[in-house]
């Protein structure tokens, strides 16, 4: 019997499985994961999983390995081929499996890949992913199990038509889209043209080497080409998508970036017109203006932990019609299925803005303070969570009006907020600050400096 190589523990993240190819993730790993998912599926009475993959060079091989493991474990697969991650979720709902795997490295560098998984309608995260690692290390024998079958399924036309049939623009719009050579390029232009838009395409050829810029709209540098094009072309708006198209970036003709927490205000105002009094969920990294705007629009703001899996679970638990996080994951339950979908979020945004002759003015009028981008304090593995745990217990924030510890430490002030939380994907502490004025911002940052250095005197802070 062949001895199984030890599993790379570092790839089992809080929200998904992610690592480098082929050192950590390869066809053999994917096969073992398929067997483990099959074991869980059998236990839950799930007979079929949908599988789709992004445009990375390693994705087809991982998809094949995963499906071989699933089928060996007695589970049928619906093979979607190369599709955006939201199309995998769309298939899980419309094909009534509630279960599927998106093979994607999201916005990570080209030598990364990963697996986002759902089973019986629930996203697998946290303890579920650690349990999969345990099963992979010691799987049940499958020799006596009848193997599953694989069926190819092309759902891109159905996905586009479903959105087209439920989204109505008040007028045609001229937009630019930048897919960063990610898998969103396989469908984005088709979708927005189907909605009646004139579409200028930037980097919509799927290329897993990402030759033009990194497919991550959370980094302003990756939006520079889109901003330039929108300024010069007469487009009303620019939309950017990350590597697997589950996140959305937005820019205006003046070059202003409309960060996702400000976008969420617009979506919330729209949804609350039809579902007054509803709960709207946002993550701890979002501006104070999100909660204020939700209240003003007649909704109930609920701040929650960062992470698409955590937000999705809270959405299901509360029955909220809408959720969003600063990273760009937006979850519409009202008129959609409740999963994060950058392409669908873009369509909803255009639906709102098409009622205005100068749509960029609507976006630029959304409230904003002076704020920092995400600041990352790099540390050794294990250190961030330990320091944040101490900060939650011992940290001193003398001028704060309220402290939330649902995800790190978020200190609220009369004139701003500060956040320090441990990333669940890399060994860093993520910090973010917002203030009414530059002076307010600096004072809040200084209070966090003092709180952190009081606990870790040798720490070198990047702010």
* Closest to 101 (Cα-Cα) out of 133, 69, 143: 69
3-state helix, strand, coil in the chain (%, to 5): 40, 20, 40
Known catalytic residue at 404: no
Asked if 82 and 54 touch (Cβ cutoff 8 Å), the reply is yes
Catalytic residue among 59, 106, 278, 309: 106
Query: What residues form DSSP beta bridges with 432?
Result: 419
List, as one string, the DSSP characters of 188-253. Answer: HHHHHHHTT-EEEEES-S--TT--SS-S-TTSGGGGHHHHHHHHHHT-SEEEEE-TTSSSEEEE-T
CB 14 within 8 Å of CB 126 = yes
Rounded-to-integer distance, Cα 100 and Cα 123, Å: 9
Contact 19, 113 (CB under 8 A): yes
Residue 304 phi, psi (nearest 5) = -140, 175
What's the Cα-to-Cα distance from 83 to each of 209, 261, 402, rounded to whole Å?
A: 17, 27, 44
Tokens describing residue 361: 């003015």
Return d(Cα 86, Cα 90) in angstroms, integer: 6
Angle, in degrees to the nearest 10, between helices 27-44 and 127-137: 110
Q: 351: buried, middle or exposed (CB in 10 Å: 19+, 13-18, 0-12)?
A: middle
Contact 252, 258 (CB under 8 A): yes
Longest dimension (CA), the chain: 69
User: CA 49 to CA 40: how far, in whole Å?
Assistant: 11
* Catalytic residue list: 106
């Amino acid at each position: 019997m062949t001895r199984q190589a030890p599993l790379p523990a570092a790839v089992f993240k809080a929200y998904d499985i992610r690592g480098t190819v082929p050192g950590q993730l390869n066809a053999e790993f994917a096969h073992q994961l398929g067997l483990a998912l099959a074991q869980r599926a059998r236990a839950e009475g799930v007979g079929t999983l949908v599988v789709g993959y992004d445009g990375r060079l390693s994705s087809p091989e991982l998809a094949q390995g995963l499906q071989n493991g699933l089928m060996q474990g007695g589970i049928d697969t619906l093979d979607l081929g190369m599709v955006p991650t939201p199309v995998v979720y769309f298939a899980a709902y419309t094909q009534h499996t509630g279960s599927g795997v998106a093979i994607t490295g999201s916005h990570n560098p080209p030598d990364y890949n990963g697996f986002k998984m759902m089973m019986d309608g629930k996203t697998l995260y946290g303890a579920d992913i650690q349990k999969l690692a345990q099963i992979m290390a010691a799987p049940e024998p499958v020799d006596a199990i009848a193997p599953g079958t694989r069926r190819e399924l092309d759902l891109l036309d159905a996905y586009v038509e479903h959105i087209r049939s439920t989204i109505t623009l008040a007028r045609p719009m001229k937009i630019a889209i930048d897919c960063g050579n990610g898998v969103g390029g396989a469908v984005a232009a088709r979708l927005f043209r189907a909605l009646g838009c004139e579409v200028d395409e930037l980097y919509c050829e799927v290329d897993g080497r990402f030759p033009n810029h990194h497919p991550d709209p959370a980094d302003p540098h990756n939006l520079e080409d889109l901003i330039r094009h929108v300024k010069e072309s007469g487009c009303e708006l620019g939309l950017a998508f990350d590597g697997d198209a589950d996140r959305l970036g937005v820019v205006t003709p003046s070059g202003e970036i409309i960060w996702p927490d400000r976008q969420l205000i617009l979506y919330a105002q729209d949804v609350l017109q039809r579902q007054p009094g509803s709960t709207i969920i946002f993550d701890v990294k979002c501006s104070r203006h999100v909660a204020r705007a939700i209240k003003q629009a007649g909704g109930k703001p609920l701040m929650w932990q960062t992470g698409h899996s955590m937000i999705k679970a809270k959405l299901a638990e509360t029955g909220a019609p809408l959720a969003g996080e600063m990273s760009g994951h937006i979850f519409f339950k009202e008129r959609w299925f409740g999963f994060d979908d950058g392409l669908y979020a873009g369509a909803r945004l255009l639906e709102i803005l098409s009622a205005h002759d100068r749509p960029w003015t609507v976006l630029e009028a959304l409230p904003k303070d002076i704020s920092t981008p995400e600041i990352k304090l790099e540390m050794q593995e294990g250190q961030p969570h330990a320091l944040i745990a101490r900060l939650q217990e011992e940290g001193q924030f003398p001028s704060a009006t309220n402290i939330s510890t649902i995800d790190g430490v978020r200190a609220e002030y009369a004139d701003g907020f500060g956040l320090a939380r441990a990333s669940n994907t890399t060994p860093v502490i993520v910090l973010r600050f917002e203030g009414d004025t530059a002076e307010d911002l600096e004072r809040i940052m200084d209070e966090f400096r003092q709180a952190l250095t009081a606990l870790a005197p040798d720490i070198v802070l990047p702010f």
